[in-house]
Structures are given as C-alpha cells and as structure tokens.
Chains A and B, each alone.
Chain A
C-alpha cells in the first residue's frame, strides 16, 4: 500500500496535525515505505482468530462509588495556556455573527 500526497493531507487533518511546506511528499514516501513492511500482515490467515485488545484478560474491574479527594480548580487550571473565571479559554467554535 502506498500513500498519496492527498491521503497524507487528509490523514494529517484527521489527526489535527498542521503540515509544513514539503511535508506531504516527505511523509508520503516514509509512510508508504513503512506500510510496505506492514502489508505482510496480509499473508497471515486470521480467519478464525479473535482479536486481542488486552492481554491480561481482566474484566469488569469495579469499585465503590465513593467521592475521593481530587485536584482543586486552581490546580487543574494551573497549566492552562489561558484561563478565565475558573474556566479554560477555548477559541470560538461558532461564528460570532451567524448572519
């Protein structure tokens, strides 16, 4: 499998990664080279094989629903690039004037 420049641009946007000039070609070539190796997975017959997501086979780890100490609002916001009135500041996700 090879990746085209358009695919790199698409995947980068899905991953929320801005690209620098010339990076589409750079990553198209490198990722294609890696995918060439990964394509060998196609040689393995996995028809009757279940997938493994977690190897220690634990399930349903439960705990009592009891309030535990947690960070203060001040601690939680201490690393924020911008905070105001006890909130994280996020850029607008809607137009100010929807017209």
Chain B
C-alpha cells in the first residue's frame, strides 16, 4: 500500500484522490513514514513542516469531498520546496547559516501558487548555500546523499529537492536553476527536471543569486507531471517585472517527434571529462528518438568553450550585488558585540557565509571593481551575446537540441570539494541555456552501472512545448521512466 503512494506520479495519485481510493491525509502519512524511514540516510530535508502539512492535507480532503469539478491536479499532492523559496512563517535559509532563524513574512510567488493549488508542503530541502554549487556539499548545514548510492552526491545546487523525489520522499519538488541547478541534480538522481524560458516563472520571493540567470522549475517522475507543475507555476506576476505575460500551450505534449529536427551540437559531445558510459547512454537515447521519427541534424555552438568563463564572471558579479543585503541589520545573523557598522558587516559576513559564497563574492567584486570592469564584466556580457547568437543560429536548423545533461554520473562525496574549477565544470553542458534564457529539460536515459544518466533537451525561447514534446516522445519510445531508488 505504502509504496503505491510514495512511488507514484502526480497523475496517478490525482486519479486515486478523486476516486476517493485514498485521502490526502493518508497520502501525507505515507510520505511522513517514508521520510522517517529513509531521510536519515539521504538527508534531503533541512526542516519539515508537519503541522502545516496536516492542515493543508485536511483542507485538500475538504476540497476533494466538495466535488470533483474544478479540483486542481496538485490538490492533496505532497511537495518538497528548495530552501531558497520564501515560505511564509517557515524558516527559509537558502542553505546558509547567515539566514538561520529567518521566517519570511510572505510567500514566494511559486510557493503561493502551489499553496493555492492545494499542494501539501512536506518541508524545505537542502541545497548548496545560496544555490552556489553542483553537489549540495556547499550547504551550510550538511551534505545530501544520492539515493542511488549514498557515498555519492545528488548533484546541486537543488540536490535536496532532486533526492527527495528520487527517494520517494515527495511526489514532486521545486528548485532553481542558475547554471544547471535543476537539470544537473535531476540527471544525477534519475528524475525529470525542467526550467522554462527566463521569466516563464516568477522569481518573486526566490532568494536571489544572479538575477539575470535565476530560473524556477519542477522535479517530477514524468514529463506529464512536469507539464502539470510548470503550468501551475507559470504566468505573469506583477511582483516580478521580468516575468512575461505569454500563454503556455502544452497541448502537443503527446504528438511525438515525427517530423521534428533535433540538433546535436558537436561541441557538447566533445567536452573534456565526458564519461564513456554517459556517451553510450546518450547515443542510445538519440537512436531511440531517431527510430521514433526525429530527423537528426548536426549543429554547432562555437562559443561553448567560453561559456564557463563568461558564466563565472556574470553570476559572481550579480551575486556580489545581491548578497550585499546580508548586513546583520534587517534579518539573519548579526554580531551583537560589534561597535561600528563596518565591524558588524565584516564579522557577520565572515561567520555567516561559507567558502564557496565567499569565493564568488570576491570574484564578482573583483570583476566589477575599478580598472577591471571592462576586461571582465563587460567582456563577459559581450561573450554572453555570442553564446545566445550561437543558439539562435542553431535553432535555424533544428526545433530542439539534445545532448547529455552532465558529462559524468554522480561523483563521490568529497571528490571535487578541494578544486572549485573541477566542480564548476559539472555545469559545462547546462549553463549555456541559462546564459541564453532557454527552456532546458533533463530526463533519465538508460542508467549506467546502476547510476542515473540525464538526457538534456533545450528548445527556443517561449517554446517549452518543444522540449517537453521531445522528452515525452523519448519516455514513450524508450520505456525508460524515472524510478524511485530502492532504499
């Protein structure tokens, strides 16, 4: 009984809730039991919200009893929230000690939309501090473990949200993607992760990392579920003026890939450190798509080699500005013994921020500092233009781009923590879509030696439908589905 509830999709559970085969409270209890059983090993949750969840589940049962017309597909469905989304009256810390104890007085728009839909909040999930990292080891609290092999990382920065779905500790979750922070952990945990076009989902209340790169999106166990959650999160928000007002039409989800042109970017298949197993799994996935009727075309993204360098100027520059707000005055950590304003800033930020955040704050401050602005920041913004143009040109020849999401499968905990640049290279295949603001999907392809591999699909701006259509076609043709890890 219990596995039927914790290993299912949103679509299956919605049907069972509507048919009254199970109640939202029972669904919640099954998840609480599962979390109690496995989270000691996985450590996906930073904190749980049992009282809130109970109230929400009871309310969902009232809504479900009131009639099946107009019941939202997420009503009564348990969700996990990355610790970067302000959640009213629930401690929200962005995985950082500097925000320990912070209880936002309002909901992020993404959270508000889930709340209105009737989803049940299980708790806040672990992440790299301020979403800066690719392994969740930069959390100010503890590392999360990959449910498929607990000696390995779940990826990051949304590692807790990815692991929760992979471990059967939530039916779906939400995360943020600035350089790959949804897609890379989705790949490493065998879940479906997606971010839409820049501005598709409001950033209001998402604790800011790099504002021109931050995207919001879901982790789910199927493409169909992914479309459901994206549809719930998307839509104009007057509280984020970069959140655009364009309809999201996903009615072609099941139309297959016959007649679609899929671009294979040469450079994405030749990146340094690409593992043979990943190559094999992706080559097989591409064959499946070809068999299903897609036309394959070779495309080129000639500035791929410069993407990481441009990203590691733009993102740190923006974060050095965004994180100036942690001043020990309005919220979070403070040094009560400091005698001057400057002393309070220096002490608060020395004690509150971890090493990766400090590295990026210094890198960004340096890139924006007098005498270096043109050589670094302006230069990186120009290279960003070239990277966007590469994609524009590629999309003249194809409807969507397919590649691996991550050059490697999940790596060992501790393997890359001593070498920041090696960690940054985890995002070499994902950060282009962030720099260009493009929809990016990762879904499981065939696993290698029991470790998940992710297939990435990138589509043109405003064309989330194409990425999801390709993903759904692969899911149907391959029979490879996101599974819950045996724990």
Contact = CB atoms under 8 A, between A and B. Distances in A.
Interface of A: 3, 7-8, 11-12, 14-20, 27, 30-31, 33-35, 37-44, 46, 49-56, 58, 61, 63, 71, 75-76, 78-82, 88-93
Given A41-B383, A49-B386, A56 B309 contact: no
Nearest to B239: A68
Contacts of A88: 329-330
Nearest to A93: B341
B199 A81 contact: no
B476 to A, nearest CB: 31
A17 B282 CA distance: 44
Given A31-B366, A78-B105, 12 more contacts: A16-B327, A41-B379, A42-B375, A44-B306, A44-B379, A46-B385, A54-B212, A63-B241, A71-B106, A79-B331, A80-B330, A90-B341
B199 A56 contact: yes
Contacts of A27: 358-359, 362
Q: Is the interface of A mostly helix, strand, loop or mixed?
A: loop
B309 A41 contact: yes
29 contacts: A7-B366, A11-B365, A15-B320, A16-B324, A16-B327, A16-B342, A17-B346, A18-B349, A33-B421, A37-B421, A40-B306, A40-B309, A41-B376, A44-B379, A46-B379, A49-B386, A51-B381, A52-B384, A52-B388, A58-B244, A71-B105, A76-B105, A79-B101, A80-B330, A81-B334, A88-B330, A89-B329, A91-B338, A91-B340
A16 B363 contact: no
Point out which of A17, A49, A90 has the most chain B C-beta atoms below 10 A from its C-beta: A17
B351 to A, nearest CB: 8
Interface of B: 101-103, 105-106, 197-199, 212, 238, 241-242, 244, 303, 305-306, 308-310, 312-313, 320, 324, 327-334, 336, 338-347, 349-351, 353, 358-359, 361-366, 369, 375-376, 378-386, 388, 420-421, 424, 435-437, 461
Summarize B's interface: helix, strand, loop or mixed.
Answer: helix
Contacts of B306: 40-41, 43-44
Contacts of A7: 366
B215 to A, nearest CB: 11
A30 B199 contact: no
A81 B212 contact: no
Given A53-B212, A58-B199, A17 B313 contact: no
Contacts of B420: 30, 33-34
Contacts of A46: 379, 382-383, 385-386
